[in-house]
Amino acid sequence: MADTSTTLRLLAAHGDDLLGVLRDQQLHEALVPYCENGPRLLRCSKHDAKGNPCKGKIVWLAISPYEPRVLGSPLGPRSDELLKKDQREYNLPPSSTAPTALFPNWSIGPVDGRDVGEDVDTDLPELERLRWIVGCRRHGCGARYLVTNTQLLALLVSCVAKGSGDLWIPISSEVGPAN
Ligand SMILES: [Zn+2]
């Protein structure tokens, strides 16, 4: 298994080549162990006038086990009860919920889990849409950040390696408010 610094170096070697990251088999293999850690919450790093961090929720992120791609969902973990309730309400077989999900009890998956944020490059082919604008969901904050797949992968890898819980978006990624 590649160590953290090797994994981060493989990622950094691609620079601004966002598409190159997806095609890097060596990187993919290095990232697989990090997938198993499951989704983590990305939080807002903006400080208010008093210097207190916002800590608002932005999006839940995980690394896809299929390719070097970040998957996201605005929804947090779902309890077993909620899963069972859905199962009853929609008359779903038990196999349709927890055991088949990519991450059990989560809404993050390769099908419904790609809504990391607003796509920036909407006129590009799907594969090249690897930059997003994400926003803080805390009432009254409104901070928006421009992030790339590469950047979020590096953030997830560092966070898992350090054993820390949540991800903090770099304040340098902040962009202006939406018009
Ligand atoms: Zn915020």
Instruction: Give residue 26 CA to ligand 1 midpoint distance, Å.
Output: 36
Closest CA to 69 of 99, 109, 105, 124: 109
Instruction: Give residue 63 CA to ligand 1 midpoint distance, Å.
Output: 23
Instruction: Give residue 102 CA to ligand 1 midpoint distance, Å.
Output: 29
For position 148, what pLDDT does the model report? 93
**Structural domains counted in the chain:** 1
For position 93, what pLDDT does the model report? 63
* Per-residue model confidence as pLDDT tens for the chain (179 residues): 568 999 999 999 999 999 999 999 999 999 998 888 788 999 999 998 888 889 999 998 989 888 899 988 877 777 767 767 767 777 766 655 544 467 777 766 554 445 567 766 666 666 667 888 999 999 889 899 999 999 999 999 999 888 878 999 999 999 977 76
Instruction: Give residue 31 CA to ligand 1 midpoint distance, Å.
Output: 29
Instruction: Give residue 138 CA to ligand 1 midpoint distance, Å.
Output: 6
At 7, which helix (H) or strand (E)?
Answer: helix 4-12
Residue 45 lies in a domain: yes
Residue 46 lies in a domain: yes
Tell me the CA distances in angstroms from 147 to 16, 26, 73, 129, 151, one per residue in order: 12, 23, 15, 11, 6
| Residue range(s) defining the domain that contains residue 56 | 4-70+111-175
Residue 160 lies in a domain: yes
For position 115, what pLDDT does the model report? 58
Instruction: Give residue 39 CA to ligand 1 midpoint distance, Å.
Output: 20
Instruction: Give residue 75 CA to ligand 1 midpoint distance, Å.
Output: 17
Instruction: Give residue 46 CA to ligand 1 midpoint distance, Å.
Output: 6
Residue 17 lies in a domain: yes
Work out the angle at residue 2's Cα, subtended by the Cα atoms of residues 67 and 111, and round it to the nearest 5 degrees. 15
Residue 77 half-sphere exposure toward CB, CA atoms < 13 A: 11
Residue for token digits 């077993």? 80
For position 127, what pLDDT does the model report? 60
Instruction: Give residue 87 CA to ligand 1 midpoint distance, Å.
Output: 35
Instruction: Give residue 72 CA to ligand 1 midpoint distance, Å.
Output: 18
Q: Are 14 and 20 in contact (CB under 8 A)?
A: yes
Distance CA 86, CA 81 (A): 9
Say which DSSP state 161 is in.
Answer: H
For position 24, what pLDDT does the model report? 96
Instruction: Give residue 66 CA to ligand 1 midpoint distance, Å.
Output: 31
Q: What is the pTM of this model?
A: 0.81
Instruction: Give residue 84 CA to ligand 1 midpoint distance, Å.
Output: 33
Nearby residues of 165 by Cβ (< 8 Å), 6 or more positions away: 40, 41, 159
Say which DSSP state 90 is in.
Answer: T
115 CB burial (10 A radius; 0-12, 13-18, 19+): middle
Residue 99 lies in a domain: no
